């Protein structure tokens, strides 16, 4: 797809805020489209007027459609999907369920998300697992030959961020999946930044477990996320936390855990958000994920090329295949100063600091970068305006 064939007029008309602000913070939280925002407001209004339990009963079809939409998006089964309040907790629920012991090894990427790294370190401290970081090649991409050579009988998990939080890199998720399958090693994919931005097919990728958020490229509400657990893994993984939605008391001294992925859910949750996330997924599917990926990729390339031409700007994105996250530093100003000045001028961006990308940023001696993340509803004109703003000499 080329830039000219994308129906930008429709995308912007269906996004109320597109007329108000230049939103380049889609990797933080995107803007909800009208259909999603209105579904959320309608659900909340119904709760206000009818009561939360009564609304949940009446809205069962909308709540259930979250599972069917997620399954369609990922090429999974509805029974393999759980609704969880965010990507981190979704990831945690399976990570802490994996039976790991002293001497077991976790292989992870250098561009791993900070919270995941904290969880590895906690399990290393609690039960003696070893964390081994797979080196990056000269383009910053996870090195598949190194991954192959690092595998031995002690490797009990391959756990990778598909797209890191603070850079344009796309890791080769499917190639990693092939290696994981070849050796029968469980594969956990953090798809927080790739869901809604790239087509994701769990079968083609070969991951056993996948965590994701609703608020970023899927354009759902905050406080929503999802977890995919491949069928064979559901019964093998006992959730670290249970309630009476995840399990059922069968006698005063026994319980039975449910046999679908909802064993990882909480009974109480953001019901309105769940229904709205289902809408957001349907909305993304209606645009088509390949079309979204092309459009986002084109806009990000335009942004990178224009920024690169500005004196003092360094693009910090790595990778051979790149996504909608564009990161840079400016010799003249800190990332924080740029983000604040941009906000005042009507451009939403964010700052990625060392905590989210600890290993990668330390390795590259980066403390913080500006993150300008595009989505398909951004216009070429917005990209040009933002670059003109960045090029203007700071006072």
Ligand X SMILES: Cc1ncc(COP(=O)(O)O)c(C=O)c1O
**Residue 188 or 192 with smaller CB distance to ligand X:** 192
Q: What is the enclosing helix (H) or strand (E) of 13?
A: helix 8-13
Rg of the chain taking only CA atoms, in angstroms: 21
Taking the complex as a whole, how short is the minimal distance between the CB of residue 161 and ligand X, in angstroms? 4
**Residue 225 or 297 with smaller CB distance to ligand X:** 225
Q: Which two tokens stand for residue 362?
A: 């330390």
**Residue 6 or 217 with smaller CB distance to ligand X:** 217
Residues in the chain: 395
Reduced to 3 states (helix: H, G, I; strand: E, B; else coil), residue 266 is: coil
Taking the complex as a whole, how short is the minimal distance between the CB of residue 262 and ligand X, in angstroms? 19
Alpha helices in 25-172 (DSSP H): 34-50, 52-58, 60-74, 87-95, 114-127, 144-150
**Residue 161 or 329 with smaller CB distance to ligand X:** 161
Taking the complex as a whole, how short is the minimal distance between the CB of residue 215 and ligand X, in angstroms? 7
Taking the complex as a whole, how short is the minimal distance between the CB of residue 127 and ligand X, in angstroms? 23
Taking the complex as a whole, how short is the minimal distance between the CB of residue 393 and ligand X, in angstroms? 32
**Residue 88 or 349 with smaller CB distance to ligand X:** 88
Taking the complex as a whole, how short is the minimal distance between the CB of residue 311 and ligand X, in angstroms? 30
Q: What is the enclosing helix (H) or strand (E) of 83?
A: strand 81-84
- Backbone phi, psi, residue 56, to 5°: -60, -40
Q: Which two tokens stand for residue 178?
A: 């092939």
Separation between Cα atoms, residue 133 and residue 161, nearest integer Å: 12
**Residue 319 or 387 with smaller CB distance to ligand X:** 319
Taking the complex as a whole, how short is the minimal distance between the CB of residue 222 and ligand X, in angstroms? 9
Picking from 376, 307, 394, the residue whose alpha carbon sits closest to that of residue 316 is: 307
Q: Determine the straight-line distance between the first and last CA of the chain, rounded to whole angstroms.
A: 40
Interacting residue ranges for ligand X, rule: CB under 6 A: 86-88, 113, 161, 164-165, 190, 192-193, 213, 225
**Residue 56 or 169 with smaller CB distance to ligand X:** 169
**Residue 123 or 371 with smaller CB distance to ligand X:** 371
Taking the complex as a whole, how short is the minimal distance between the CB of residue 191 and ligand X, in angstroms? 8
Distances (CA, A) of 226 to 31, 36, 40, 51, 154: 19, 17, 17, 25, 29
Residue 232: half-sphere exposure toward Cβ, Cα within 13 Å: 5
**Residue 197 or 213 with smaller CB distance to ligand X:** 213
Alpha helices in 34-86 (DSSP H): 34-50, 52-58, 60-74
* Residues near 212 by beta carbon (within 8 Å), at least 6 away in sequence: 87, 90, 191, 192, 194, 195, 218, 225, 226, 227, 228
**Residue 306 or 356 with smaller CB distance to ligand X:** 356
Taking the complex as a whole, how short is the minimal distance between the CB of residue 247 and ligand X, in angstroms? 24
Separation between Cα atoms, residue 222 and residue 88, nearest integer Å: 13
Q: Residues 349, 338: contact at Cβ < 8 Å?
A: yes
């Amino acid at each position: 797809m080329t830039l000219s064939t994308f129906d930008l007029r429709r995308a912007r008309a269906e996004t109320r805020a597109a007329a108000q602000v230049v939103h380049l913070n889609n990797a933080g939280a995107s803007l909800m489209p009208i259909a999603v925002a209105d579904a959320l407001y309608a659900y909340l209004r119904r709760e206000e007027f009818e009561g939360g339990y009564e609304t949940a009963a009446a809205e069962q079809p909308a709540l259930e459609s979250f599972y069917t939409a997620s399954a369609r998006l990922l090429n999974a089964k509805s029974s393999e999907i759980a609704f969880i309040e965010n990507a981190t907790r979704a990831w945690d629920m399976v990570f802490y369920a994996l039976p790991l012991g002293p001497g077991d090894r976790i292989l992870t990427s250098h561009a791993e998300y900070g919270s995941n790294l904290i969880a590895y370190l906690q399990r290393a401290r609690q039960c003696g697992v070893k964390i081994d970081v797979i080196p990056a090649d000269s383009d910053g991409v996870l090195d598949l030959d190194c991954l192959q050579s690092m595998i031995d009988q002690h490797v009990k998990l391959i756990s990778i961020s598909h797209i890191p939080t603070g850079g344009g890199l796309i890791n080769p998720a499917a190639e990693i999946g092939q290696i994981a399958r070849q050796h029968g090693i469980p594969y956990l994919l953090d798809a927080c930044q790739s869901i809604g931005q790239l087509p994701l097919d769990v079968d083609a990728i070969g991951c056993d477990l996948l965590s994701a958020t609703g608020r970023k490229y899927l354009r759902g509400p905050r406080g929503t996320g999802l977890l995919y657990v491949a069928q064979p893994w559901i019964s093998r993984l006992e959730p670290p936390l249970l309630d009476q939605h995840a399990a059922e008391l069968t006698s005063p001294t026994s319980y039975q855990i449910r046999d679908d992925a909802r064993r990882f859910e909480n009974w109480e949750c953001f019901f309105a958000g769940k229904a709205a996330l289902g809408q957001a997924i349907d909305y993304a599917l209606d645009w088509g994920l390949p079309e979204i990926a092309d459009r986002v990729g084109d806009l990000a390339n335009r942004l990178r090329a224009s920024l690169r031409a500005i004196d003092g700007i360094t693009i910090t994105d790595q990778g051979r295949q790149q996504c909608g996250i564009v990161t840079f530093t400016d010799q003249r100003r800190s990332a924080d100063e740029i983000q604040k000045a941009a906000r005042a001028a009507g451009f939403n961006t964010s700052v990625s600091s060392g905590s989210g990308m600890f290993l990668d940023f330390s390795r590259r001696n980066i403390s913080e970068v500006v993150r300008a993340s595009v989505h398909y509803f951004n216009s070429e004109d917005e990209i040009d305006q933002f670059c003109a703003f960045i090029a203007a000499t700071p006072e």
